[in-house]
Amino acid sequence: MTLNTVLACVDGSKSSVAVCDYAAWASQKLDAPLTFLHVLDHSQYPTASNLSGNIGLGSREHLLSELAELDEKRGRLMREQGRLLLEAAVERAKADGVADPAVRQRHGNLVETLAEVEQDIRLLVIGREGEEGDTMGGHVGSHLESVIRTMHRPILVTAGDFRQPRSVMLAFDNGPSTRKGIDMIAASPLFSGMPIHLVMVGADTNDAWESVNTARQILEKAGHEVHACIRAGEVEKVLLGYEEEFDIDMIVMGAYGHSRIRQFFVGSTTTNILTRTQRPLLLLR
């Protein structure tokens, strides 16, 4: 994998189609190579086990042999399924206009695998719904939560079907990650030519407008049409209401920090927006 790669995680979930399409879009906008990654998690797809120590099985060699063969066969099937998923992803990306997508299949833990290759990633694309459907019930899945908390690269989390992005909303709070977002949007070809909706949730004060106007000037200098506003209310309701009102194609916002105590994760702004939005969410660290 080369430096500044768009890395897209695919599995057997329905979200993989949107992951392919958004990754292909980003790869072309950024003029960056695209790599598809499929990780065979050992906890889900075990290989041959040592069962000789299990109570009652030690003397049944034929049963041990059959169980080992079943594990091995299952492992082969999972590898083959992954290979086919990667082939399908490559064909879809080529149909979307990407010339030469690469593929990687790895054994192990998804989060650990991503951490190993993080230095090569320019943008990570991952689906909100994983193969296990673990965002059911209004909670972000454990894999996705861990990925977002671990990575220090921009993460594009897909939601719903692909729609060609034509507008973007930046949830602006004048914090370090969203100030970084202003600079990123201004410098990046990812949002070139798009109108930017700069939305701050809070009190309509002179200080607030000062920070908003500073951000607006940076974006306008980069050639963007900017729509800026400050709205009072609950953060999630305001942002999701604005998204629907103006038919926003993508939301950019800062992710929660590493220092946030884990039990306070559920109920965070990041989580609530992530579970409720119908648009892709670009998270910045």
SS3 readout for 158-187: ECCCCCCCCCEEEECCCCHHHHHHHHHHHH
Say if residue 102 is in the same domain as residue 137: yes
Q: Is residue 126 scored above 80 in pLDDT?
A: yes
207 and 227 together in one domain? yes
Q: Does residue 130 sit within a domain? A: yes
CA-angle at 76, arms to 70 and 79, nearest 5°: 140
Q: Each residue of 94-119: pLDDT tens digit?
A: 999 999 999 999 988 899 999 999 99
Same domain, 9 and 143: yes
Residue 58 lies in a domain: no
Pick from 158, 186, 206: which residue ends a domain? 158
**Mean pLDDT taken over the chain:** 85
User: Does residue 211 belong to any structural domain of this protein?
Assistant: yes
Using an 8 Å Cβ cutoff, are 135 and 1 in contact?
A: no
Confidence label for 87 from pLDDT (cuts 50, 70 and 90): very high
What tens digit of pLDDT does each residue of 39-70 get? 987 665 444 455 555 555 555 677 777 777 78
Q: What is the CATH number of the domain that holds 115?
A: 3.40.50.620
How would you label 187-207 residue by residue, b for 16+ Cβ within 10 Å and e otherwise?
ebebbeebbbbbbbbeeeeee
Residue 271 belongs to domain spanning: 168-252+261-279
Give the integer Cα–Cα distance in Å for 146 and 168: 26
Helix (H) or strand (E) holding 276, with range, is helix 269-276
Cα separation values, 86 from 61, 79, 132, Å: 38, 11, 18
Given pLDDT bands bounded at 50, 70 and 90, which one contains residue 133? low
**Do residues 137 and 198 share a domain?**
no
Angstrom distances, CA of residue 12 to CA of 40, 144, 159, 198: 11, 15, 16, 36
List, for residues 225-269, the tens digit of each pLDDT value: 999 999 999 989 999 999 999 999 999 988 765 444 443 444 477
What is this structure's pTM?
0.85
Q: Is residue 120 part of a domain?
A: yes
pLDDT of residue 74: 77
